[in-house]
Structure 1
Amino acid sequence: MLSPEDMQKIYREIHKKLTEPFPEGTLEAQERDPNSKYIPVQPYIHRLEEAAGVHWSWHLTGPPVIYETEDLVQVTGVLKILDAEREGVGFSNLQRYSDTKKIRNLKEAIRSAGSDALRDAADKFEMGWKDLAPFRKWAKNPGAGLVSATQRSSREEKTQQCMRCKVPLNQEDIRMLEELSITMLYCQEHIPAHLIRNARK
């Protein structure tokens, strides 16, 4: 029996492999919106096999749900890696015969919704985040963990502007303000004389 610490260590090793970028060319364009990218289910399955081997499983929870009015089928499943579980929900469009209105693609729609659900669960393990980041607004949020501290610092410096002339501060401006312990943002040219005198007293 592995200890909780050993299990956590193994999980972290697997998770690191799972979240590595996919090979170039993995992303595909959505049919309805060529500018929107997604990752097909097969690369997710291949990555799970490579990174987790016998330590992952996927199963559906309950029967598919059909929404007659919307012509949609919903599938829910659970992706398990070691003791960690993430639920995924997927949808697919139903097609009907024009004369009888009966569903003509139920089997394919359920399979497609299952793939969508697996991708949704894999997303909750942070799989594919690094690949999809350029196409997702949430990726710019530092809390998502995709923006390093160095990148945040660099970006914040670029947005710092002189209160007077509105010109972005450079490294020399920032260094001068730090040396004088001035918290207000000024470029060197526009630091008020009285702030300099007070700082040097």
Structure 2
Amino acid sequence: MERDYKDIVAELKRAFPKDTVKFRSDNHRPYIPNQVYTDRVESATESRWNLEIKELEINVPHRYVKSIVQVQIDVHFRDGYGFAVIPGDPSKEPSNINTAVDKAVNEAFLTALDSYQMGWRDLAPYKMKDWAGNPALKHLLDHPEPDSQTAVVQSRAIVDRHCLVCSKVLTGDEWDLLGQVPNLNRDKMTYCFDHLPNHLKRKIDKDNIHQFEIRTQLD
């Protein structure tokens, strides 16, 4: 029996497993990989969906690509847009154009799925100072689905990792937070959150710091 459209949408909104959210290496912002979204759409619709590129503008002189795509599920559809800069000199490195096209199309795909609130429950804890802090969206944090794992979890203890200052065993969340400090060797510069130097804390995304503090309050 084929799924009803409203059941498909409910499945798209469902929270992903714990640790699905990743952090970009350049700015440490949270994101969910494109492949995760594609897999969810494929499973939720039982392969009854289609992605169509409605518009693709490749502007070589000004080095950008703009894309508009449409995600169709049965008779319903959502549009999304994406934009990407073509790096370097396209005349010398034409393959960079293909890279920019892929990036613009992928971004448009994610924009379309974002209109289904896909991934909102997972990203909300990291966006408290952005859209998730709005009282109208508080339900994303206050009412997690009983069958799903959300990003708000209690801190996890790990072994053989001790703070250089107080010798306290680090929690898993403290260890993960250290991994978000650019160019920090966690094996040599191991600190608990309380003793992490302020100049290192400032290098971590503020949303991630806030989410860490939320988790520690649950302990």
TM-score (norm 1): 0.60
CA distance in 2, matches of 1:135, 1:24: 14
> Gaps spanning 5+ residues in structure 1: where?
1-8, 152-201
The aligned runs of 1:105-184 (5 Å cut-off) are 105-136=96-127, 137-144=130-137, 146-147=139-140
Q: Which has the higher strand share?
A: 2
Structure 2 SS opposite 1:54: coil
CA distance in 2, matches of 1:72, 1:17: 35
Q: 1:67 to 1:21 in 2, by over 3 A?
A: farther
Post-superposition CA distance 1:91-112 (Å, at most 9, x none): 22212349x5664411121112
**1:92 paired residue number:** 84
1:83 to 69, 72, 75: 75
Q: Which has the higher helix share?
A: 1
**1:24 paired residue number:** 18
| Mapped contact 1:87–1:121 kept (Cα < 8 A) | yes
Greater relative contact order (Cα < 8 A, sep 6+): 2
Q: 1:28 to 1:68 in 2, by over 3 A?
A: farther
**2:217 paired residue number:** none
Post-superposition CA distance 1:180-199 (Å, at most 9, x none): xxxxxxxxxxxxxxxxxxxx
| Mapped contact 1:140–1:146 kept (Cα < 8 A) | no
| Mapped contact 2:121–2:140 kept (Cα < 8 A) | no
**2:167 paired residue number:** none
> Gaps spanning 5+ residues in structure 2: where?
145-219
Residue 33 of structure 1 and its aligned partner are, at CA, apart by 1.2
**2:43 paired residue number:** 50
| Mapped contact 1:130–1:146 kept (Cα < 8 A) | no
| Mapped contact 2:124–2:141 kept (Cα < 8 A) | no
| Mapped contact 2:78–2:115 kept (Cα < 8 A) | yes
CA distance in 2, matches of 1:105, 1:129: 31
| Mapped contact 2:125–2:141 kept (Cα < 8 A) | no
Residue 143 of structure 1 and its aligned partner are, at CA, apart by 3.0
| Mapped contact 1:57–1:81 kept (Cα < 8 A) | yes
Residue 12 of structure 1 and its aligned partner are, at CA, apart by 1.4
Q: 1:33 to 1:122 in 2, by over 3 A?
A: same
CA distance in 2, matches of 1:122, 1:46: 12
TM-score (norm 2): 0.56
Q: Which amino acid aligns with 2:120?
A: W
- 2:33 aligned with 1:40, yes or no? yes
Identity %: 28
Structure whose CA Rg is larger: 1
**2:193 paired residue number:** none
Q: Which amino acid aligns with 1:87?
A: D
